């Protein structure tokens, strides 16, 4: 495999270059956290699920919930009426944490402080939240917490919320083993995956479950035409990968009769993140029988299918070093974090939810501006109150100081008394205004957050901060965008530049 960009391909890319990127709306933009020059990227890798293949989330969730509940009834002793519970998909967003011991679900800000928190369908008060989580930071490695960080994981949280309500009611006040609920859900999902129930339903109705992106084939073609090598690295097994990829790409362009023609290397059952930190061997698969073939893999060739493998062997065989590889995935832990922390490959994260988040913020632009203005006014009012309160306290102290009063003339004493009265009056009216303004800010904040999600607000923000999830996207993904085909609007030689981020003292 060649390790430098083919000069002819580079020339073609240059001559064919049209600066279409000027008009890209926010929803179709690729955002940059860390400068990245696409002309230094020689190989682009893709994850499949939720990256190349975007699912119809609500329908997939319904299926996943139904199949999981059936396993819970069949194998784990849950009563059939759980099928009739209300499973509201809006109860879960990416980045939530399940507190298994207490039966709570919560969202954190970037300092890992617990923001809003629900027990079943009951929202905890600020006081309850403080009492529960004030002591120390959450130990994420502890078994007591389950982090919902993939779209596949959302149904778990949705089911957990409904089952907590159900079992709390059924127990009639006796303690409920919430840990068991999480574990039963987890086990049942694994069972639905292991016996292929879930994937066989999807395979039978690909168009029903997977969004077909009309620009995907062209995007991949454009990247290839600029001389970049493409590879697929998915954790899915070959059979499922083959079904999904055929649905997405076969027959889309004449020059690529099969989806496999778009990729120089195809790796299935990649076991990320183990792919990045263990030394599993590559094994070739016979596409006809879908069975592993014997013999050591010494080169990665186009047209063949590999499973397993590891990043070190991959780089040895492709002769392409880490900083020249861009990997596009959707999972912070599986796809992005390790690569970033160990300075291996450059990364782009597909954040399907971004599309909606941007649409909502566009729609609410006026309200968000009002809120900022109101919030600034409120801060000014607060500092005015601080000043007046200090003044009032000083006047009061003077009035209580008999020696000082005795030294003043009667006229001065009257003026002093008058100043204290007027300061107190203006303080009272300022405080009234602050109360009203705070109510206004809170109701505006509330209505904006409800527009994102009635229970959780935006996935990327919590209060005035980035959410913990938003901060991770910020920290670990070099680029992020809502779908792979958004790259179509950009030159394959694009220099993605991160915006300058001022520190508070610079603003
Ligand atoms: Mg994925």
* Residue scoring higher pLDDT (16 or 376): 376
Sequence-distant (≥ 6) Cβ neighbours of residue 368 within 8 angstroms: 361, 448
Cα 347 to middle of ligand 1, angstroms: 13
| Short-list 97, 84, 57, 62, CA closest to 163 | 84
* Distance (Å) from CA 442 to ligand 1 centroid: 37
Identify the band that residue 304 occupies on the pLDDT scale cut at 50, 70 and 90.
very high
**How much distance in Å is there from the Cα of 49 to the middle of ligand 1?**
4
Q: What is the pLDDT of residue 418?
A: 93
d(CA 53, ligand 1 centre) in Å: 8
The radius of gyration computed from the CA coordinates of the chain, to the nearest angstrom, equals 29
| d(CA 15, ligand 1 centre) in Å | 35
Q: Which of 154, 146, 104, 88 is nearest to 330 (CA)?
A: 154
- Cα–ligand 1 centroid distance for 238 (angstroms): 15
pLDDT score of 343: 75
Question: What pLDDT, in 10s, does the model give residues 387-443?
Answer: 999 999 999 998 899 888 888 898 998 999 999 999 999 999 999 999 999 999 999
Q: Are 480 and 349 in contact (CB under 8 A)?
A: yes
- Asked whether 448 and 364 are in contact (CB, 8 A), the reply is yes
Ligand 1 centroid distance, CA of 3 (Å): 27
* 51 Cα to the center of ligand 1, angstroms: 6
What string of H, E and C letters represents the secondary structure of 285-337? Answer: EECCCCEECCCCCCCCCCCCEEEECCHHHHHHHHCCCHHHEEEEECCHHHHHH
Name the pTM for this structure.
Answer: 0.89
331 C-alpha vs ligand 1 centroid, how far in Å?
6
Please tell me the distance between residue 483's alpha carbon and the centre of ligand 1 in angstroms: 12
pLDDT tens for residues 29-60?
999 999 999 999 999 999 999 999 999 999 99
Degrees to nearest 5, angle at CA 33 with 30 and 39: 65
Distance 201 CA to ligand 1 centre (A): 19
The Å distance, Cα 48 to ligand 1 centre, comes to 6
Structure tokens at 366: 């006026």
**What does the pLDDT average to over 347-371?**
95
Burial class, 490, CB count within 10 angstroms (exposed 0-12 / middle 13-18 / buried 19+)? buried
Parallel, antiparallel or unpaired: strands 325-329 and 43-46: parallel
Q: What is the pLDDT of residue 404?
A: 86
- Residue 347, helix vs strand vs coil: strand
């Amino acid at each position: 495999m060649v390790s430098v960009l083919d000069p002819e391909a580079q020339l073609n890319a240059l001559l064919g270059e049209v600066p279409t990127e000027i008009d890209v709306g926010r929803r179709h933009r690729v955002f940059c956290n860390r400068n990245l020059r696409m002309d230094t990227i020689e190989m682009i890798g893709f994850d499949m699920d939720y990256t190349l293949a975007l699912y119809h989330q609500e329908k997939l969730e319904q299926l996943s919930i139904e199949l999981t509940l059936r396993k819970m009834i069949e194998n784990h002793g849950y009563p059939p009426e759980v099928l009739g519970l209300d499973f509201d998909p809006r109860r879960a967003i990416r980045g939530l944490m399940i507190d298994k011991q207490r039966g709570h679900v919560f969202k954190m800000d970037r300092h890992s402080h617990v923001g809003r928190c629900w027990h079943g369908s009951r929202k905890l008060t600020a006081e309850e939240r403080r009492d529960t989580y004030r002591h120390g930071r959450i130990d994420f490695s502890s078994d007591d917490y389950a982090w919902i960080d993939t779209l596949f994981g959302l149904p778990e949280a949705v089911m957990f919320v409904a089952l907590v309500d159900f079992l709390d009611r059924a127990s009639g006040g006796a303690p409920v083993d919430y840990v068991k609920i999480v574990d039963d859900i987890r086990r049942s999902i694994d069972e639905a995956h292991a016996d292929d129930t879930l994937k066989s339903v999807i395979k039978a109705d690909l168009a029903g479950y997977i969004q077909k992106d009309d620009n995907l084939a062209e995007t991949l073609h454009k990247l290839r035409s600029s001389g970049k090598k493409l590879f697929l690295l998915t954790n899915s097994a070959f059979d499922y990968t083959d079904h999904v990829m055929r649905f997405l790409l076969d027959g889309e362009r004449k020059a690529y009769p099969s989806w496999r023609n778009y990729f120089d290397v195809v790796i299935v059952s990649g076991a990320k993140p183990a792919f990045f930190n263990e030394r599993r061997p590559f094994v070739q698969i016979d596409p006809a029988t879908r069975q592993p073939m014997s013999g050591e893999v010494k080169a990665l060739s186009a047209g063949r299918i590999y499973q397993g493998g590891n990043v070190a062997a991959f780089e040895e065989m492709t002769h392409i070093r880490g900083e020249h590889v861009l990997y596009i995935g959707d999972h912070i832990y599986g796809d992005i974090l390790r690569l970033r922390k160990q300075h291996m490959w450059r990364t782009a994260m597909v954040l399907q939810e971004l599309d909606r988040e941007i649409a909502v913020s566009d729609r609410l632009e006026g309200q968000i501006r009002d809120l900022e203005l109101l919030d600034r006014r409120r801060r000014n009012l607060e500092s005015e109150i601080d000043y007046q309160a200090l003044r009032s306290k000083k006047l009061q102290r003077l009035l209580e100081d008999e020696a000082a009063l005795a030294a003043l003339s009667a006229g001065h004493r009257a003026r002093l008394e008058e100043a204290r009265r007027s300061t107190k009056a203006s303080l009272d009216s300022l405080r009234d205004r602050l109360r009203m303004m705070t109510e206004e800010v809170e109701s505006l904040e509330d209505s904006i957050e409800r527009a994102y999600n009635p229970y959780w607000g935006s996935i990327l923000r919590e209060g005035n901060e980035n959410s913990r999830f938003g901060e991770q996207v910020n920290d670990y993904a070099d680029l992020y965008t809502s779908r792979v085909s958004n790259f179509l609007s950009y030159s394959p030689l694009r220099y993605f530049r991160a915006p300058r981020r001022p520190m508070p003292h610079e603003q």
